[in-house]
A = this chain, B = another copy of it.
Amino acid sequence: MNKKVYFAGSIRGGRVDAELYRRMICHMQKTDVVLTEHVGSPELNLLERGRDRDADIYRQDMAWLRESDLLIAECTCPSLGVGYELAYAEAHGKPCHVFYDSGKTQLSAMLTGDPYFHIYPYRDPEEIFPLLDQILGNGGER
């Protein structure tokens, strides 16, 4: 309850799973705080904005990551940014939980091979939600 979650999902790498990100974020927001709620928004601006404006995004995201209690990533769609965020979170000692659809993709060996990460392959997205409850410690009362 009331954990601060950094949710990581692909933005410029591709928005094919944006609706799933939105559902995961909404589910966690029933009990906890998602610092990166915008990752699930269908109206997100995907364009590069020049290095100065992108630097504002970078600084804000890294501040949220340092402030967070844990990172939850949906990794079915490959993303440079999510890979970066996972390594940064690991370097800062944040627990990292990685979901991906094992029927759609092969996950990077930099993630499956790194024993630091908790990895959750799924076949049906509905498997994700009870696992989120477990990770966040939101048990029987719901």
Q: Are A110 and B81 in contact (CB under 8 A)?
A: yes
Asked if A61 CB lies within 8 Å of chain B CBs, one says yes
Q: Which residue of B lies closest to A55 (CB)?
A: B113
Specify which of B83, B88, B105 is in contact with A82 (CB 8 Å cutoff): B83
Q: Are B112 and A84 in contact (CB under 8 A)?
A: no
Interface residue total, chain A, C-beta cutoff 8 A: 43
Specify which of B51, B83, B107, B113 is in contact with A87 (CB 8 Å cutoff): B83
Contacts of A113 in B (CB 8 A): 51, 54-59
Counting from the closest, the 4 A-B pairs by CB-CB distance are A83-B83, A58-B113, A87-B87, A54-B113
Asked if A31 CB lies within 8 Å of chain B CBs, one says no
Q: Are A115 and B78 in contact (CB under 8 A)?
A: no
Asked if A63 CB lies within 8 Å of chain B CBs, one says no
With contacts A14-B78, A51-B119 taken as known, whether A84 is within 8 angstroms of B61 at the C-beta atoms is no
CB<8 Å pairs between A and B, sample of 21: A10-B78, A11-B108, A12-B109, A13-B78, A14-B78, A46-B106, A48-B107, A48-B109, A49-B109, A80-B83, A80-B86, A80-B108, A81-B83, A81-B110, A82-B83, A83-B84, A83-B87, A84-B87, A84-B111, A85-B87, A91-B91
